[in-house]
């Protein structure tokens, strides 16, 4: 079912309508009336004849007419019965304002589960419970207790927090920001963020989707669908709960380094969602996204009547990683021909403090014709002769004449520019109070435009023996094992194209010596135990053993010392492996979150936790995304080669990341996986997965 009956209902019933001002049941009814809703309103209150002059009904059934939308504002203990009544009379859209459900504990969750069961059984869509409500400016519906219906605009807003949405409405009213629709979905027992953004994708009144989220229900579906929506409409989200305190404990390197917020950041990057650090940033960004054409690039030119703000803007442009546009010679000649001799005709273009509106208009008109300019930032300080409002009108005229490139305004001041700010906003020109805030908005805008220009993602398919890999997983899961030992882990990696060192298992010192002689000295010895994840921590790894005597000594030392450190650990024997000598050790890993599987790349060995120079991406990845993971690390220059030292085989790392991406996508039973170290050599040398550990989820 679509969500249209929430936004454009022909009739609305308020179950729990109240005669008492200040109560939620009264405020919602009053807001619907005051907002100018043109449909039929049915207050339901068995003890009242009329509220706000509208006849009341003792129950929903007593209305006797079809009801498109029911708003429930009664105590939680009565809501299940109310839902049953909705089902009996054929209601298909319900907003439950009432609190007292899963947010209060087990008893409340049980009530909420009953509501969901009724809704699913009878095809009812539910927003809430424990929510502020819904607003739709196109239908003049204010089905909420969040204050007055806002001005009409192109921004739709969804929020998991009703209190935040109420504050946002107050802030938006002060800044004259309009909305198309607002949805507070509270506990998300049924309708969630994905349902709403899908509905908003096709809403003709909505040009920008913005919102506040605390969590996402279905990560894989969200990633798939949100990416498609972002290619047509921008999505601007704030996301809370991003501190390390929110991350679950993890035994792998990847799990410990992938904090609770990392998966959300990767999800937003993958889907083109613009992440906003605050409400004010969100408003700043939304102004541009709702009104301006997407820029063809990141090249910014600044037009200003004051040198200081121009320098501030130039600094901000460089800090944000934008490009300070280089004006073409014809552009500078044209500017020089009409501007005063003291004016600066390079970037920033300084039209001087005595500039009137016509000088701004000429400069703006000229720089917009420069093919090397993608975005224009207009700065204005209100000096004695400055025509603030007339300059704002000139900016609007120019954009109408040349609408292909975005314009951003930064009129600095307060009382002297108040009228001109209103002119700018009414004309669809985003206005900012400081060069820094304007440039941050430009950065978000240009980055989104660049994301939109990217070709559709193509996930490569590499050769793999999936049957062999699944057999290893099944063998462990059938026995209730959640940890795969190194030997079996390497077999699983081999099924996906990884090369691993020659190795042999040994239970005695003599078997270890025989294995070493067969493999060839020097060798590596590792303890084999299902109870020891990080072998180095207990002396369970010996490298560079040059001869049989060294192998015997290492074996005896491990079997003597490790039981003292880990008396409960089961020691099955040792693994003898060939010594792999390569130029660089890196780590490849993955950690499965309920939102998806995160891939990780960084320097390997013990350096991964010392330097924490790692990058993440959500699987599955493309070849471009694999390469970007490598390039985003601080140590990328080391991998390329520095100070005469040759670089490693970057293409081998790219391929390994793609192999790992395919592995973790094919095998959802894997919870965590580390390949550490992954030994990479010079171009042309074979790279080797030296060590691996895999954890499963049951």
Q: Are residues 428 and 567 both part of a single domain?
A: no
Give CA torsion, residues 391, 393, 398, 400, to 10 deg: 160
Distance CA 619, CA 596 (A): 7
Kindly state the helix (H) or strand (E) to which residue 101 belongs, with its residue range.
none
Q: Per-residue pLDDT averaged across 165-193, rounded?
A: 92
- Among 266, 267, 185, 180, smallest CA distance to 222 is for 267
Q: What is the dihedral of CA 337, 338, 340, 344, to 10 degrees?
A: -70
Which of 155, 188, 206 represents a domain boundary (last residue)?
A: 206
Q: What's the number of domains the chain is made of?
A: 3
- Residues 449, 518 within the same domain: no
C-alpha distances out from residue 69 to 5, 10, 619, Å: 6, 8, 40
Q: What is the CA radius of gyration of the chain?
A: 32
Please report, for the domain that includes residue 167, its CATH number: 3.40.50.720
pLDDT tops 50 at residue 256: no
Q: Alpha-carbon distance 412 to 432, whole Å? A: 8
DSSP letter at 344 equals: B
Residue 630 maps to a domain: no
Do 64 and 201 lie in one domain? The reply is: yes
Write out the residue range of the structural domain in which residue 518 sits.
502-579
**Mean pLDDT for the stretch of residues 541-565:** 94
Pair 18, 83 in one domain: yes
- Is 22 exposed, middle or buried (CB count within 10 Å of its CB: 0-12, 13-18, 19+)? exposed
Contact 635, 654 (CB under 8 A): no
pLDDT of residue 487: 86
pLDDT tens digits along 146-157: 889 999 999 999
Q: Return d(Cα 530, Cα 527) in angstroms, integer.
A: 10
One domain, residues 413 and 508: no
For residue 278, being part of any structural domain is answered with no
96 and 27 in a common domain: yes
In a domain, 161, yes or no: yes
Q: What is the CATH number of the domain that holds 387?
A: 3.40.50.261
Same domain, 12 and 155: yes
DSSP bridge pairs for 300? 324, 375
How many other β-carbons are positioned within 10 Å of the β-carbon of residue 136?
Answer: 25
Does residue 231 belong to any structural domain of this protein? Answer: no
Average pLDDT rounded to a whole number, residues 635-641: 88
For residue 321, give both structure tokens.
Answer: 């990683």
Helices (H) and strands (E) in the chain, counts: 24, 30
258 vs 248: CA distance, rounded Å: 9
| pLDDT band per the 50, 70, 90 thresholds, residue 254 | very low
| pLDDT for residue 609 | 65
Q: Would you say residue 469 lies in a domain?
A: no
Q: Which of 452, 443, 229 is nearest to 317 (CA)?
A: 443
How far is the CA of 417 from the CAs of 35, 424, 627, in angstroms?
31, 10, 48
pLDDT band at 248 (very low <50, low <70, confident <90, very high): very low
Do 429 and 553 lie in one domain? The reply is: no
- The CATH code of the domain that includes 541 is 3.30.1490.20
User: Rounded CA gap, 692 and 503, in Å?
Assistant: 13
What sign does the CA torsion over 634, 636, 637, 638 have? positive
pLDDT tens profile 435-450:
999 999 999 999 999 9
270 vs 598: CA distance, rounded Å:
12
Claim to verify: residue 52 and residue 196 sit in the same structural domain:
yes
Domain-embedded: residue 560? yes
DSSP string for residues in 455-522: PPP--------HHHHHHHHHHHHHTT--EE-HHHHHHHHHHTT-----EEEESSHHHHHHHHHHH-SS
Of 238, 147, 157, 241, nearest in space to 200 by CA: 157
Among the candidates 206, 227, 253, a domain finishes at 206
Mean pLDDT along residues 159-188: 91
Residue 56: how many other CB atoms lie within 10 Å? 19
181 and 306 in a single domain? The answer is no
> Would you report the helix, strand and coil content of the chain in percent, each value rounded to 5?
40, 20, 35
Claim to verify: residue 61 and residue 174 sit in the same structural domain: yes
Same domain assignment for residues 165 and 41: yes
Token pair recorded at residue 120: 């699913």
* Interval 103-132: pLDDT, tens: 999 999 999 999 999 999 999 999 999 999
- Whether 237 is in a domain gets the answer no
Residue 225 inside a domain? The answer is no
Residues 6+ positions from 315 with CB-CB distance below 8 Å? none
Q: H or E element: which one contains 370?
A: none
Instruction: Give the rounded percent of residues in the chain with a pLDDT score beyond 90.
Output: 82
Confidence tier at 141 by pLDDT (50, 70, 90): very high
- End-of-domain residue from the set 206, 237, 256: 206
- What is the average pLDDT across 494-498? 96
């Amino acid at each position: 079912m679509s969500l249209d009956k929430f936004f454009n209902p022909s009739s609305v019933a308020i179950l729990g309508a109240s005669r008492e001002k200040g109560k939620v049941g009264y405020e919602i009814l009053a807001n619907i009336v005051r907002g100018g809703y043109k449909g039929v309103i049915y207050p339901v209150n068995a003890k009242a004849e009329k509220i706000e002059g509208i006849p009341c009904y003792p129950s929903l059934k007593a209305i006797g007419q079809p009801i498109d939308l029911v708003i429930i504002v009664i105590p939680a203990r009565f809501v299940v019965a109310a839902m049953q009544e909705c089902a009996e009379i054929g209601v298909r859209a319900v907003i439950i304002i009432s609190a007292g459900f899963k947010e209060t504990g087990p008893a409340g969750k049980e009530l909420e589960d009953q509501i969901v069961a009724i809704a699913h059984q009878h095809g009812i869509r539910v927003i809430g419970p424990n929510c502020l409500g819904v607003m739709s400016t196109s239908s003049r519906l204010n089905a909420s207790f969040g204050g007055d219906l806002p001005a009409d605009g192109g921004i739709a807003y969804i929020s998991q927090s009703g209190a935040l949405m109420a504050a946002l409405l107050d802030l938006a009213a002060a800044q004259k920001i309009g909305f198309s629709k607002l949805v507070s979905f509270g506990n998300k027992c049924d309708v969630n963020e994905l349902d709403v953004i899908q509905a908003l994708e096709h809403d003709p009144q909505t040009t920008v989707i913005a919102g506040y989220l605390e969590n996402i229900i279905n990560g894989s579906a969200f990633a798939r669908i949100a990416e498609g929506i972002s290619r047509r409409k921008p999505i601007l989200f704030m996301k809370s709960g991003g501190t390390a305190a929110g991350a679950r404990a993890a035994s792998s390197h990847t799990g410990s380094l992938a904090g609770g917020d990392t998966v959300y950041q990767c999800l937003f990057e993958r889907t083109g969602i613009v992440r906003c650090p605050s409400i004010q940033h969100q408003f700043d960004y939304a102004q541009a996204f709702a009104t301006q054409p997407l820029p063809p690039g990141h090249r910014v030119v600044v037009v200003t009547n004051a040198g200081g703000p121009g320098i501030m803007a130039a600094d901000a442009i460089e800090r944000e990683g934008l490009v300070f546009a280089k004006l073409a010679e014809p552009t500078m000649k044209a500017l020089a021909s009409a501007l005063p001799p003291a004016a600066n005709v390079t970037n920033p273009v300084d039209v001087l403090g005595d500039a009137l509106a016509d000088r701004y208009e000429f400069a703006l008109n000229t720089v917009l014709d420069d093919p090397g300019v993608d975005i224009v930032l207009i700065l204005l300080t209100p000096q004695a002769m400055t025509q603030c409002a007339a300059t704002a009108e000139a900016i609007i005229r120019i954009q109408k004449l040349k609408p292909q490139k975005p314009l951003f305004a930064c009129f600095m001041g307060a009382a002297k520019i108040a009228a001109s700010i209103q002119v700018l906003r009414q004309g669809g020109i985003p206005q900012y109070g400081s060069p820094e805030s304007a440039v941050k908005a430009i950065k978000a805008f240009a980055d989104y435009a660049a994301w939109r220009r990217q070709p559709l993602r193509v996930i490569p398919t590499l050769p793999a023996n999936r049957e062999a890999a699944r057999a290893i997983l099944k063998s462990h899961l059938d026995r209730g094992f959640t940890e795969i030992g190194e030997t079996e882990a390497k077999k699983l990696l081999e099924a996906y194209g990884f090369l691993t060192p020659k190795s042999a298992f040994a239970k005695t010192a003599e078997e270890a010596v025989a294995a070493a002689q067969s493999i060839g000295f020097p060798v590596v010895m590792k303890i084999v135990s299902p109870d020891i994840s990080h072998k180095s921590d207990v002396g369970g790894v010996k490298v560079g053993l040059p001869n049989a005597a060294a192998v015997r000594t290492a074996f005896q030392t491990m079997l003597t010392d490790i039981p003292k450190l880990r008396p409960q650990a089961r020691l099955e024997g040792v693994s003898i492996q060939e010594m792999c000598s390569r130029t660089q050790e890196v780590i490849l890993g993955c950690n499965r979150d309920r939102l998806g599987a995160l891939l990780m790349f960084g320097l390997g060995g013990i350096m991964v936790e010392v330097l924490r120079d790692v990058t993440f991406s959500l699987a599955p990845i493309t070849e471009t995304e694999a390469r970007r993971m490598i390039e985003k690390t601080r140590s990328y220059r080391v991998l390329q080669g520095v100070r005469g030292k040759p670089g490693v085989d970057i293409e081998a790392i790219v391929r390994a990341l793609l192999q790992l991406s395919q592995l973790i996508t094919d095998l959802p039973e894997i919870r965590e996986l580390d390949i550490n170290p992954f030994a990479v050599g010079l171009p042309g040398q074979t790279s080797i997965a030296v060590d691996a550990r895999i954890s499963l989820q049951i």
